[in-house]
Structure 1
Amino acid sequence: MSESPYTVPALPAERRTGCPFDPPAELTEARRHGPVSRYTHPGGKPGWFITGYEQVRSVLADPRFSSRKDLMNVVDFELPPAPPGEFLLMDEPEHSRYRKPLVGRFTARRMRLLTERIEQITAECLDAMEKAGPGADLVSAFAKPIPTIVICEILGVPYADRASFQEQIDTFMNGETGDEELIAAYTATQEYLGRLVAAKRADPTDDVLSELADSDLTDEELRGISLILLAAGFDTTANMLSLGTFALLQHPEQLAALRADPELIDRAVEELLRYLSVAKTFHRTALEDVEVAGQTIEAGTTVVLSYHTANRDPGRFTDPDVLDLARQDGGHLAFGHGIHLCLGAQLARVEMRIAFSALLDRFPTLRLAVPADEVALRPEAADIFGVKNLPVTWDA
């Protein structure tokens, strides 16, 4: 018989101001007691919290755990199925039906072909910062515009509509929006995407949505796919760019190493992904009784997979709480694992390599403009962790 498991207290727990890069202490403590802990979901349903690297990776690859939204047993009422096209919340074969047409459009080779355009977008943001500065909010001036413009161009969203899209996606993801405003933003976005899909069917252009429109996918399915790509392509990368810069500025020896050796950027990006793990948690529901690390996850029970503690697991990484841009032991789970491995992982990597390198090259004296503990953090309730703003300055 296994030992009685540890119980994770109610979450979300907030992070320490000034040093928000570590997971909440409650989750680190849970992992110290073992990789699988009891947990009660905010809706009152009993569940489990999985904090160990090997266990999170195992569940992500195990078809006995479901991603279906309607099977998530976290509240005391039945959830509806995921809308058509929103494949992150689906299992096979529905998941592959939507994902497969996209895979070839987000390969490493195709993302590298975007390098010149991403460099141009980044340079334009930095030009505007330099012209207006010294002094800027790095979130609004740099971290948000770059991935917003890139994903909108990939999908074929007209330039004039990009600012409103950025605002609407941020409304979905910031963790502070009330239900009424959330529904209004979602409805407005769906209505806009419906008009965009119709426009692409009538007059295709050179973009992913136009290519998808020339298929058997319905308008409703195309809206769902577009929403997933817009939200994932914007919010995660935007928060990696802002929180990643914050982390580098708070680790001057690592920043100096990167400045001294620009070839270190590939490893630096992977280490920042591991160290920060801005996509903190995902859910899976057991389709049958499954044993994980000696604990039986009962059929119908929803587990929380903690990416940020898995990526800090001392059983997998040497000195996991240390930011080491030259780290050799890779293999993080920041993009997930298994069939739901992040479709845009290669795009995010290209964007981060270009953006971090250009920012540090353009502003060699870049520094925080406020004390670190005054940097406003996104609430832990947000799906993606990050900072609300990042005031920086530099020598003219």
Structure 2
Amino acid sequence: MSGGASGTAEGSRGRSQASARAATLDRDKLFAARLHAARVRPYLATALFALHVVESRQVPTMAVDRHWRCYVSPAFVDRTPVEELAGVWVHEVSHLLRDHHGRSDRVARERGLTGPGERLRMNIAADCEINDDVYGDGLARPEGAVLPRTLMLGEGELMEDYLRQFRLGPRTQDLAWLDCGSGADGLEREWDLGADGAHGLSARERDAVRFRVAQSITGRPGDASAGWQRWAEEVFHPPQPWRELLGAAVRSAASGPGAGEDYTYGRPSRRSASVPGAVLPSLRRRPPRVCVVIDTSGSVSDAELGSALLEVAAISRAVGGRRDLVSVVACDAAAGGVHRLCRAEGIPLVGGGGTDLRAGFARALGARPRPDVVVALTDGQTPWPSTRPPCRTVVGLFPRGTGGGSVNENDPDYVPDLPPAWARVVEIG
């Protein structure tokens, strides 16, 4: 009996000691995990050490806000092995580097998504974007980490793509505990310190961290995954004035009469009240369809073709990440097929001969459904359509001169025709 009492007392002391440990954040263990993460992912070290730790018992595990604070549950740190904690460190900082909070805010505005349920879907979709290639090579996958295959989805896609492919239901009912914080989905939590709280990074400091991480990735090619390398290329690719022009053209196309409109019964028309017994559909605006015609003639360099692919990725973001609304036509003297955008690196840029973008315009306008905007990326050495296309048109010109490629080796006096007046033109520098 005394032995039983002794065992009970020892068990109580053990539980008390465990509770005491969980009551205080074990920073030594937490920072040892961060150091391990920096050792196995050295290109992320700047970002990992830029996070400021905030102890919080309201957080289920670990979470971040858009100001680069990392909120940590003491109990979670106590029960999680160091190797898995290192994986959580990398996961959380990946949300911030990839601007999931800003992208979630944009998606919420553009698709009319409101409420915590939709933000949970965004958190899960963002997790899928990160987790498909972040673990392995010395970095342990945390227990319960959601992968695209968990939801029967393909790998290598973006948060915006995953978000369209699943809804909250039986496959996601076990994921309700996921909460990476406002840094993952843009919705502020009760534990957030906010913009005026202590130890947050300014917008300029956040940009500097992203730039340094991108610099570390590009400076050591082969160390980072393909997804991180694509991210670094986009960070280094300077903002182009022509993107603002494209954005204006896209918005103009979307607001034009009939463009980007469709009828839906999902939201009945207010006029239904005047027709008893009938339900009338309402008009719904959608982002416009964009077809990009890329000049693949011999006078366009490989570097310019690479730049064109980056511009295609920027165009997909300009239409709210709706890659299904972006298509690409490769064209030299003849036009190839119309390719729906999945991944930029999967677009076949076949060509190398002469140039006649009239074929590319004809192929783009012949696609069904017809695009609302046609974007031509070219060096300008081409005949142009004689008639104005029945949609908005933007021409991005690769600069010619030093380093821009020869104008025409067979005819040094050749002067290309200027783009037509009905096209909005800007130089891609």
TM-score, L = length of structure 1: 0.26
- Larger gyration radius, structure 1 or structure 2: 2
- Answer 1 or 2: higher relative contact order, Cα 8 Å, separation at least 6: 1
* Greater share of helix: 1
TM-score, L = length of structure 2: 0.25
